[in-house]
A and B are shown apart, each in its own frame.
Chain A
């Protein structure tokens, strides 16, 4: 029986959540909640979502392209019906209480109507402004606006020879009726093209006119006697026409080549007629500038087709470049700006500070070019109130201001950059298109130094914490830099190598093998050679000698910090922060802020990387959902669809084609009307049109109407990328009542207009071909049905440790039934062996209360001394057989599975462990401290040996992440029990990441000795002298060996995963070589497993502490809830189907499928379960009988495309279901 958890209605709480911050964390929370049946308001202060991750080039430790993996999330959030995006917005206040909050939100004026905007970006291209102007004081209300008069004039000399007809010229004529006979045009014309005599009407001689427009600029405003013809886009505005002509000239000249003034006159017209300043005049020698009246907007330089004008030459006023914040100020932007190319929403914002129109009333170019009328200069800030049940605070972080560490010269030396600036330099979509150059002189650097811990682990500037990510991102940046240019020699200067995460150490090894030099040293100062711009670094090497080394470029690995703005915001929300601005939370409820109903996730809850942020984001979604689970589904927006038309077998093909202008994105190169005409000539095409913006709201509605009007049964859109726009058009088809797979898209923007801007005819031909191939493809399209499967709203949890128990309680809190299977007799797992958490709290009471909450919950069924022995079925509906304590078996049905099988302490036969009583592990020590604290008084000396059996190929070839923190915690506890005790911690790198660095500092202040060793040079020698342990270690700070004879040797031995070999095979979930499970994606799906509907939490994923384990448990339940909260799952219509008629049962598909989906049925034929099929088509290609087909990618589709490649071939009879 399938019970529904969707229909519950609880009037007491609101089924909506406010998520603050649209970075990767906020997006993940929003998606998890929206998929689990809650309405989400996602508030982001920037104009678009994406956050810091969108700015990164690659991500560690997989070197995945950051934008490639984040952009599908952006699109998903942007299109989700139950996520309302409030970008360029701010939360003003939060009233009410958990379950029922009211938030006040200010939506700042964008000056662009987001509902109308299609994101074509034409406004940004046409906007001429590139600097922050020095606007004149606005005139008083009764004062007449006066044109400024220049007093300080200079001439920029240099004129190229020009003759009439050289350039795309406009024609100027004198309107005899308006001419005042003043002769201004005659005086302005430098080419003798105006004939005029006193008291006579001027006449322009077209044979001599070079079309510079000097006459037009000179004609007094009150007469406007010169008229302009042959000027494309002049009907829009002069600004638009100037832009169009500038582009035309650039195209004619084969690019924007720097040279002398070509007398196009665009700058003069721009300054006088568009900006209404008139600081520029054409004179014989060049361009005369009124230096004092120039407003320094940069418009003249931006329309100049030959880069003759440099803004810096025009005026004595300081030039204030309009820096692109997304590119970390490394290049310029326009006042109207789309944050970045993949931005969601792809709607620009006009900057009120620099926009000329908003400040002086002049210009208005963007409004005139916008084809959909989206620019609205009168927009004002809007305030609104929303009601929600919970709040997630995930505003993210900013980077440390490197100017606070003056000794490194950031902000003074041009070739010292921050790590985030370096990310933008590496990025293919960044300011240098991925070319690594020095900002100072554009040279390619050969030697690059990274300085670590700039604004991290630094008490002197109140950044005592470790930023957790810098060691890894620096390694990545160095590695990728060498990938860009193998002649680069990177060096990283670091204190401790904190590569503590999963597979991080392996990445560091790879980076080192790739000739990245790692130097353990603190750089004291950076000096610039003012002549070369090279930088000299001073540091002390291993021997203590001061070394000076010269580098071409220095990258400062800046730490993470909470911005002042977010601290204020936290204040408005009423949540407590610590001294650094991170949210105050409890180790056992790591995501709950101090105000009930408000949850935190991401780096504002302590510095962390992307996967941990994503885990916390899902975890916060879970925490936010539990309190309002009763109102699930109550706030959702549902869509009513008309019934889908059934295709008759003999139905005539009626194809509609839409060729998009995309403003001028496509139409400026491709002749879209010709492409549409051509479409009409193709067989079966009964309708073709070329909308200005095919994706705009009105266009999409029109397509819907046209489908009905012309009885279209197939649709082709020739426009942009199917990756971003296909879902929109497919849903339009469905709304019009036809199967959404009767659709294809030709990408004539990316593949035609963008790549062939200089060859419009060829681009048009190619657009025709791509459209023709899409038409051929769609003629073969089959209606595909998206299967629906009922979902069993229950969760199977394997493992009853902290992860499993937390998950069980969380899932039950959301209303799901839970089956908890534990191998041992008792619940509790590895934490039963531990005593105290890292913040010093005892585990036993916590564990007991958790156990009681599990056992006392009627929705949780616990099986101890039990094991999963078989699992069948698929996501939404698994059948699992469980062997119970009595030896019997039970089959349960559940919608999702959670693996929380945990890990245990490693106990290697090393250094006498297991042989000598005075050699123990950290866990043993904890037990002694808890049970026999008096023993500590008798000890005078203790040695802790870190990485005992970790980070070495003979034992555990990975870092166990917890041991350093555990050693620090136990040291402090020992010091507390016996302040006189001597403690020496022998370590390789103290990996006290994040806020644990504070504890490490506390331990050092408490007198604990930390002695570093390098296993390649001086591994500590543990021996016995008499009855006592005798340890010889090399102390690098005094550069000599020391002998230690402790009462106790404590080994930090790391964690090994529990045995899961059978389980992994049964659930078909891969493990890495250390037997930890491999998540579906290292960055963005940290708690999902490769098999759909199977999730992961806790130390089975990799070593982690209890708080991190609880977060993952919450996260995994949130992910499972996106399935369990649905009545039914809809699967993609694209899956492989076996036609049994020709199946030879050869097993080829069974062997070829990478997911093991095909099975042989009792009817002796192969069968592919649509719910399990991933849609890759490998079996289709492999099947020797060719009896497997994959919807949308059948042979018929591919052959039709290839067949119409050269010319339209007669279309085969359409297939119909």
Chain B
């Protein structure tokens, strides 16, 4: 399994459609990584993102993907080790869930997950 990072100005830029598009295009899981809460470079973008991630988790649950395939993380730019740890945890979690139903339906076994990262 491997990850691809999509750079954003702030996690506040993401919307539900962007996260769902990642699944549609083959991601088995999506991590959203923003600044620490209370320490957002753009005041409150990460708080908005958290709510959106919650809504997408709800949608994923409804359509039978499982809400565990999307998750919001908060990190500061200096926490490389924590980033690696979170990524490892999340990849393990997605690996347990297996390929997303979309990938299964397409018969593709590409074990990959996309990840979105806020850059400031």
Contacts and interface: CB of A to CB of B under 8 A. Distances in A.
A1177 B77 contact: no
Interface in A1179-1212: 1180-1182, 1190, 1193, 1195, 1198-1199, 1201-1203, 1205-1206
Nearest to A752: B2
Interface in B71-91: 76-81
Interface string B1-40: 0101111111011110110011011110000000000000
Given A65-B76, A65-B78, A769-B4, A1205 B12 contact: no
B69 interface: no
A76 to B, nearest CB: 16
A1176 B77 contact: no
Contacts of B41: 1176
B81 A1198 contact: no
B31 to A, nearest CB: 14
B43 interface: yes
B11 to A, nearest CB: 9
A197 to B, nearest CB: 58
B52 interface: yes
Interface string A1158-1187: 000000000000000011111011100000
A58 B41 CA distance: 18
A1202 B114 contact: yes
B99 interface: no
B110 interface: yes
B2 A1178 contact: no
A1203 B10 contact: no
B22 A1205 contact: yes
Interface string A37-61: 0000000000000000000001000
Given A65-B76, A1190-B13, A1202-B18, A1181 B48 contact: yes
A218 interface: no
Interface in A725-776: 747, 751, 762, 766, 769-770, 773
Contacts of A58: 78
Interface string A1127-1158: 00000001000000000000000001011000
B4 A1176 contact: no
Nearest to A1183: B15
A1176 B45 contact: yes
Q: How large is the interface on B (under 10, 10 to 19, 20 to 34, 35 or more residues)?
A: 35 or more
Contacts, number: 102
Contacts of B5: 747, 751
A1182 B112 CA distance: 29
B78 A1176 contact: no
A1155 B10 CA distance: 14
B76 A1176 contact: no
Nearest to B8: A1193
B81 A1176 contact: no
A428 B15 CA distance: 33
A1154 B27 CA distance: 31
A683 interface: no
Given A65-B77, A1155-B43, A1181-B52, A1176 B12 contact: yes
A773 B4 contact: yes
Given A65-B76, A68-B76, A1202-B114, A1176 B9 contact: yes
B25 A1195 contact: no
Nearest to A759: B2
Given A1178-B48, A1206-B110, A68 B78 contact: yes
B26 A1205 contact: yes
A770 B114 CA distance: 11
B78 A1181 contact: no
Contacts of B44: 1154, 1178
Nearest to A58: B78
Nearest to A772: B4
Contact of A1181 (B15, B26, B80, B108): B15
B8 A433 contact: no
A67 interface: yes
Contacts of B43: 1154-1155
Contact of B21 (A434, A1182, A1199): A1199
A434 B2 CA distance: 26
A286 interface: no
Nearest to A1176: B42
Q: How large is the interface on A (under 10, 10 to 19, 20 to 34, 35 or more residues)?
A: 35 or more
B59 to A, nearest CB: 16
A68 B35 CA distance: 13
A1197 to B, nearest CB: 10
Contacts of B4: 766, 769-770, 773, 1205
A994 interface: no
A1177 B18 contact: no
A434 B6 contact: no
A766 to B, nearest CB: 5
A1193 B110 contact: no
Given A1177-B12, A1181-B15, A1190-B9, A428 B42 contact: no
B21 A1202 contact: yes
B81 A1174 contact: no
Contacts of B17: 1195
Contacts of B112: 1205-1206
B76 A1174 contact: no
Contact of B25 (A65, A751, A766, A1205): A1205
Contacts of A93: none
Of listed A58, A1190, A1198, residue having the most chain B CB within 10 A: A1198
Contacts of B7: 722
A1198 B7 CA distance: 9
A1203 B76 contact: no
Interface string A424-437: 00001000011000
A1154 B42 contact: yes
Given A766-B2, A1154-B42, A1193-B8, A1181 B22 contact: no
Contact of A1178 (B10, B79, B108, B110): B10
Contacts of A770: 4
A1198 B18 contact: yes
Interface string A234-266: 000000000000000000000000000000000
B69 to A, nearest CB: 15
A1068 to B, nearest CB: 12
B42 A1178 contact: yes
Nearest to A1192: B9
Contacts of B80: 428
A1178 B78 contact: no
B105 to A, nearest CB: 14
Contacts of A1193: 8-9, 13
Nearest to B49: A1181
A29 B81 CA distance: 34
A1181 B49 CA distance: 10
Nearest to A484: B81
B42 A1205 contact: no
A1174 B42 contact: yes
B10 A1177 contact: yes
Of listed A68, A769, A1154, A1195, residue having the most chain B CB within 10 A: A1154
B84 to A, nearest CB: 8
B56 to A, nearest CB: 12
Interface of A: 58, 64-65, 67-68, 428, 433-434, 722-723, 747, 751, 762, 766, 769-770, 773, 1134, 1152, 1154-1155, 1174-1178, 1180-1182, 1190, 1193, 1195, 1198-1199, 1201-1203, 1205-1206
Given A1176-B9, A1177-B13, A1180-B15, 14 more contacts: A65-B79, A68-B76, A428-B78, A751-B5, A766-B2, A773-B4, A1176-B42, A1177-B45, A1182-B48, A1198-B18, A1199-B18, A1202-B6, A1205-B112, A1206-B112
20 contacts: A428-B78, A747-B5, A770-B4, A1152-B48, A1154-B45, A1174-B42, A1176-B13, A1176-B42, A1176-B45, A1177-B13, A1178-B12, A1178-B13, A1178-B42, A1190-B9, A1195-B18, A1202-B18, A1202-B22, A1202-B114, A1205-B27, A1206-B25
Top 3 nearest A-B pairs by Cβ distance? A65-B78, A1177-B13, A1154-B43
